[in-house]
Amino acid sequence: KNQVEQSPQSLIILEGKNCTLQCNYTVSPFSNLRWYKQDTGRGPVSLTIMTFSENTKSNGRYTATLDADTKQSSLHITASQLSDSASYICVVSAVTGGFKTIFGAGTRLFVKA
Amino acid sequence: GAGVSQSPSNKVTEKGKDVELRCDPISGHTALYWYRQRLGQGLEFLIYFQGNSAPDKSGLPSDRFSAERTGESVSTLTIQRTQQEDSAVYLCASTPASGSNTGELFFGEGSRLTVL
């Protein structure tokens, strides 16, 4: 069964600190993995995309890693800012005659001053 | 428009009434998705349209839910005889043709439905 599991469910950190969010998946055939950021009351927006051959990708203070062997991904946020408070959603796409996307439940991050 | 547009942004209705939610995808995007997101929860897949192919309706929770899309244009999600449990944000997303895309979904801002 195709599944995407994220941890932790929620996280509170102080402004300026780093944090790492985890994503484990059982999706095949694997096409790519994306991390989305969803601000409160808004639609999700893609942060990074990673394909099978990519191990790490950065987008500003966000760095995603992918281990295709263990089917794990992480999203590391450096020097957190108040505006990083949001839900971070791991989404894995499978190629099945089109793209099938499986969403994780998300990690709710709260950054406090 | 530049992005996915959804309307209404907010809808309050009485239990038992029908509601219709609209989604205008990005021009040229052949695939369109509807998701439901209850307060504090993740996204639940509802339905997927890809070009002129038969839609994937596997996520619709009951026969009170239906959706239509004409070609590669506007889609409407209809909920009949609304129940309080239908209260949620309904998100629409579109994506380019599957042969050339990387699977990125472009989301609208959602329609927040409150059933009293």
Distance CA B41, CA B110 (A): 14
Q: Averaged in consecutive runs of 10 residues, what is the pLDDT profile of chain B (116 residues)? A: 90 97 93 92 90 88 94 93 97 77 84 97
Q: Which residues in chain A are contacts of B107 at CB distance < 8 A?
A: 43-45
CB B97 within 8 A of CB B30: yes
Q: Which residues in chain B are contacts of A104 at CB distance < 8 A?
A: 42
Per-residue pLDDT of chain A (113 residues; tens, 9 = 90+): 778 999 999 999 999 999 999 999 998 888 889 999 999 989 999 999 888 888 999 999 999 999 999 999 999 999 999 999 999 999 998 876 656 788 999 999 999 99
Distance CA B64, CA A108 (A): 31
- Residue A72's CB is within 10 A of a number of other CB atoms, namely 14
Structure confidence by residue, pLDDT tens digits, A53-83: 889 999 999 999 999 999 999 999 999 999 9
The alpha helices in A2-89, defined as continuous H runs, are none
